[in-house]
Structure 1
């Protein structure tokens, strides 16, 4: 049953302005259920597209919280060397994970009491070809898409770092970017980002290219139940 929650959230999100409810079908790109047992090193993609990831040795797999099995990311002091690549889950680059010019959605279920960190991203702020990212500054989810026509962000108006599970969906379509929390649309920006295509892997839990000195790694602290990518 949980497999269909991201699709439902995406459908609800697209119904709000400025997004046009023009998506007739949702096509999964990747679905990472994050239900691997303790000690697992491979994150399996159950979409059928074989976009599996490498689980860092510091990621707590098989974590059971309030009926959900997921990954735990312990808190790390921000901007304090050294970088900790073992805190990340890394999915090797695949063109399917690039939004391109398609309608594109990222959905995840999280639980945190933290107030910072990059949750999921493909590319970084200076990456050639653009990038997309979901982060949680001050406990408020923010999603951004940067393409060859510009950057659009959607910022949640309230924090969700209350220790409860929340489903977050961010959608980029031809008319803008919008954000939904627990199936309710909470923010959006009208416009067009243009194409987003880069050669970077997708990371979960923080930045890949960072040193905690000149570039902070922005490590996420909290739990994740699942992450999905879809075209809509």
Structure 2
């Protein structure tokens, strides 16, 4: 090979290497979490036919709740045991609170102004439903709220108080019937959505102060009538739900 050929090959390799490095730089990477304290951990390992219908908090903080009588416990899939929320249209009447897992409100479960994260492992094949939330739109002026929903199969996380709100939405759908770990973390000036360990959406956000007296509901809304306010019921399975804070 002549000298010119060697130089051309050298520069081609350099260009390729630079391109690879730049491409890697734009692959979303997991962020170090600012939350390091588990506030609640609902493992959802209760056996089928759980007579007490108790939703057990494994964090040691006694944030126990109740399992709705229409929610199936002890359901196994791909090595996991969890709760199954059976088929229903999200706006199908009548409203049915027995489809919900509920945890009573407490100071510890409210974000306030702290760094705060909600994590859950779920699977679904549907394109609708509120997965988990504390409060809802009607509670904006009474402490704010947060929620996770999956319109068209794209997970969305919202934090809102009386004056400001912030939303992050996944650019990839997760209603493929496989298990996915969803994490949404609210920090003082940032909201971050992570799916299966990779950051998929992030935005700057004004500080929120969220503190309401509503229970945490898993599987849809509690204050709804399917006429004026739809219940947005979730259809699918949950392996666990965890709340962390700073």
Q: Tell me if both proteins adopt one fold, taking TM over 0.5 as the criterion.
A: yes
Distance 1:13 1:229, change over 3 A: farther
Please give the alpha-carbon distance, in whole angstroms, between the structure 2 residues aligned to 1:13 and 1:198.
Answer: 30
Pairwise CA distance, 1:13: 4.5
Residue aligning to 1:216: 230
Structure 1 gap segments, 5+ residues each: 1-11, 16-20
Residue aligning to 1:125: 137
The 5-angstrom pairing of residues 37-52 of structure 1 reads 37-40=47-50, 41-52=53-64
Please give the alpha-carbon distance, in whole angstroms, between the structure 1 residues aligned to 2:225 and 2:138.
Answer: 15
Structure 2 gap segments, 5+ residues each: 1-28
Please give the alpha-carbon distance, in whole angstroms, between the structure 2 residues aligned to 1:194 and 1:161.
Answer: 29
Pairwise CA distance, 1:148: 3.8
Q: Which one of the candidate residues 80, 99, 115 is aligned to 1:87? A: 99
Q: Which one of the candidate residues 125, 133, 136 is aligned to 2:150? A: 136
Pick the structure with greater CA Rg: 2
Please give the alpha-carbon distance, in whole angstroms, between the structure 2 residues aligned to 1:215 and 1:39.
Answer: 32
Q: Which runs of 4+ in 1 moved over 4 A?
A: none
Give the alignment's TM-score, normalised by structure 2: 0.84
Please give the alpha-carbon distance, in whole angstroms, between the structure 2 residues aligned to 1:61 and 1:193.
Answer: 37
Give the RMSD, CA atoms, in angstroms: 1.2
Residue aligning to 2:42: 32
Pairwise CA distance, 1:147: 1.9
Residue aligning to 1:157: 171
Pairwise CA distance, 1:189: 1.6
Please give the alpha-carbon distance, in whole angstroms, between the structure 1 residues aligned to 2:162 and 2:235.
Answer: 31
Please give the alpha-carbon distance, in whole angstroms, between the structure 2 residues aligned to 1:144 and 1:132.
Answer: 5
Please give the alpha-carbon distance, in whole angstroms, between the structure 1 residues aligned to 2:194 and 2:208.
Answer: 22
Please give the alpha-carbon distance, in whole angstroms, between the structure 2 residues aligned to 1:132 and 1:93.
Answer: 13
Task: Give yes or no for contact 2:149–2:157 (8 Å, CA) kept in 1.
Answer: yes
Name the structure where helix makes up a greater proportion of residues: 2
Residue aligning to 1:188: 202
Pairwise CA distance, 1:191: 1.5
Q: Deviations over 1:46-96 (max 9, x none)?
A: 000000111011101000001100000012123221001110001011111
Please give the alpha-carbon distance, in whole angstroms, between the structure 2 residues aligned to 1:29 and 1:156.
Answer: 25
